[in-house]
Amino acid sequence: MKHYFTIFLLIIPTSLFAINSETLKKYPYQLLTNDYGILNKANLKRYTYEVNVEPFTGKFNGLDYWQCYPTKNLSVWYEKQNDDPYEKTERGDAHITIRDTSTTMHDYVPRRSFSSDYAKAKVSTWKHLIKNQQYACIGGIYVSTHKKMKDGKEITEHGWIFENLKTKKGCDSYFSGWCR
């Protein structure tokens, strides 16, 4: 009997744990877009732990929010920083950039620079997670919006602090234990 119970637990569809209307009523603010069946209740709950949640307003409030995008609109890349004279290491930033439209983009960057090797490994992990996936969900803290000119067009860029990247293939997080 234990054998059948174990098999049953292994084949329960993960969609049973997907976000439903009851979950959205309990955690109404943390998901800003459709989640395409990628996120679950634990993902939304994590962003409400010991904080007073509020709706997203486009102003910095230090709260985490999830957004999900078609992977065809994502680019994952690495930016070399100046060498750290104290640590004697080359530093770098891993980025996830999303083009919503031809004039609107989002840029997610971890809260601090990493060693170049670690930043490159992060980019590699993220590329693996989004490869052959239709959608990806990214969690983070909104920081600011600024406008810039590029090729004669005004581009609106929304800056975010990266917390999580999740696809149906898996998850990566800035903080250990935040992937479920």
Tens digit of pLDDT for each residue in 60-99?
999 999 999 999 999 999 988 876 677 777 889 999 999 9
Max intra-chain CA distance, the chain: 69
Establish if 180 belongs to a structural domain: no
* Domain coverage including residue 82: 19-173
pLDDT level of residue 175 (50, 70, 90 thresholds): confident
pLDDT level of residue 155 (50, 70, 90 thresholds): very high
CA dihedral 10, 14, 176, 116 (to 10 degrees): 110
Establish if 96 belongs to a structural domain: yes
Establish if 95 belongs to a structural domain: yes
**Chain center to CA of 128:** 14
Q: What is the CATH number of the domain that holds 87?
A: 2.40.50
Establish if 165 belongs to a structural domain: yes
Establish if 8 belongs to a structural domain: no
Alpha carbons 94 and 121: distance in angstroms, whole number: 9
Q: Provide the domain count of the chain.
A: 1
Give kind and range of the element (H or E) at residue 9: helix 2-11
Q: Model-level pTM?
A: 0.85
pLDDT at 156: 97
Token pair belonging to 158: 């929304």
State pLDDT tens for residues 157-173.
999 999 999 999 999 99
Chain position carrying tokens 């679950």: 40
Establish if 75 belongs to a structural domain: yes
Token pair belonging to 23: 């979950």
